[in-house]
Structure 1
Amino acid sequence: MRDYLLLAPLLLVILAAVPVVLAARRARRRHAVQDRCLAESGALPDMVEKVRVRLARPAWFAATDARTAAEGAGWLALDAQHLRVIGRFDDGSTVDREFVRSQAPPQWRGLAGAGHHGLHWFALGEPPLLLSADGLTDWHSARTTAALYRRVAAPGAPPPPRPVFHLQSHPLSLVTVLLLLALLAYAAYDGLLAPFALIGEHRWLTGVALACIPLGLLTYPLFRRARLPPRETLLLPLLIGFAVGLALIPLLARIDRESGDGEFAEAAYFFDGGNAFKPLQVGTPTISVANVDEYTAALKPGAEQGFYLRRGGLGLWQVETDSLRRTVLLWYQGQNKPPPRLRVH
């Protein structure tokens, strides 16, 4: 079982690397297009610096079925007085526009509408040509595009506003937040308040719960198609996996209790002198308690106590904890001490 648990972080790394690998492939294709445009444009003797950019036109953002993050790719060449943009759009058309810096101040557009895919933009000239700093992924688009904007803008121009995304502003992120709250509420209710505890060997449940975290990344394409910002596109699937894993253990425990034959039956145990009760019947798991050291210190080794157990349809052993909690509560009340939270496992 330990080997399976060790595979969970490896699976997380592999699945987390998938978006990076796909982004790297897309970046290589863009760079090939940009390099061809640069070669076709000839030398740029007056330009002292060239920056890879992604391109778009205002009409492109109105296309709700846009499947790519940008309409094209190219270069921004700049010197002290001039800017020049060369590139190619996805429809095969090319662009080669030159601007006088003093006459074409950049206009910050930010996410620029529903079709942003997480990219941030600024516009140059009329009709406006939108530019976004190119990079391996869209994760740092706000920072890198803002840095490029400041290099293009005149000295003393106000910096672009800090981007803020509200989760309630998009239906998918809003539904995801509500789902997360529901899963966490269920995990807290059925995991902490249920009068039953899992005992015995059930580490495979931990492995299944840990595996849910990387498996949450399977929803990554859904968030990317919804064009959420890059951070939310990655973090929300991970949070979904975490919440599902957290709720899965109490859910499987409930399914185990509701399935199988028989009812909870009393089994005899004896106290081992530490923090555990050993079964008198062979094949019944040990019951360990925690956070009640004063109570267990007052028990005599070998003292017998009965517990109600059941092995359900999933093969999990569970013990009813209400009677033990009442016993512990009465003991601490008799000692005039506040009762701690009993843990049974």
Structure 2
Amino acid sequence: MGTARITLGHSDIRIRPIGLGCMGMSQFYGPADEDESVATIHAALDAGVDFFDTSDVYGAAGAATGQEQRGFGHNERLLGRAVRDRRDEVVIGTKFGARPTGNGIEIDGRPEYVKQACDASLRRLGIDHIDVYYAHRLDERVPVEETVGAMAELVEAGKVRVLGLSNVGADILRRASAVAPISALQSEYSLWERGIEREVLPACRELGITVVPFSPLGRAALAGTFSAGTSFPADDFRATLPKFRAENFAENLRLVEALKEFSEARGHTPGQVALAWLLAQPHDIAPIPGTKRAKYVRENVAATGVPLSADDLAELAGLFAPDRVRGGQYGDLAVLPRR
């Protein structure tokens, strides 16, 4: 990865433009080997990756998805183990607000829970401060001003460096920013999921918020590894998502085939081109592609060297115009229970 860095929102934190999402090392995308996951994190560090993303709820899929639980906090403990001796090389982002109950996952944004969750994350990660602390989902029963106010107190206490939000709209961003500086917004954004472009991206530009796209490779679909006959087992989250359902998936893969032809003609992988398209957007963007394999980390990092002309960018945007992509962002998990 090159030496170019971006500044994360309202902070002095400077990161390289391709991070690593660690969620799949604990849940959602089938089985994962813990030692291999640690080796992948180490390979990412060696490749120059310095921005790592986790959440306290990763590993506790449970009843909400029908998946086996590895345990609430599993992913934080895994990441903490992997970077224990290299803390000064990493910027760690983690999230709170979604926690398991007997009936699945509930959302809790009460100020007292914000502080409890932060202390628990610090213990699991084995660190004395969190670099970027996000509200994973907002509790609709608690005004965002109260949740963010409690998060701001964590900054004052030295437990958190900067604040972030996840999966929120422009109005919430403005209300939250009136309470405390918001440095990062984590939302799904990729060639085939562009719902934030109309209102959320302009609000981020207005408010000086860095966008941190999760699933920037369309949950691996944009990497070009699937075929129309691909099926996903019950423990793979993609089986629940509209874009991956049989009636939509075959049509969406036709767009991916065109992306593959575009990429191969230029000597790159489709995943690299998809990431390069994001990096070329007119805003500070720090995608966090997730993987459990070191080879894909190195492939993703190489996307920073993929040149795309204005015509290339327009062609890709047209290929994946929102009205050409079939299926919405989420299925049954669009609404999670609140307290």
TM-score, normalization: structure 1? 0.22
Higher RCO (CA-CA < 8 Å; seq separation 6+): 2
Of Structure 1 and Structure 2, which has the larger fraction of its residues in strand? 1
Structure of larger gyration radius:
1
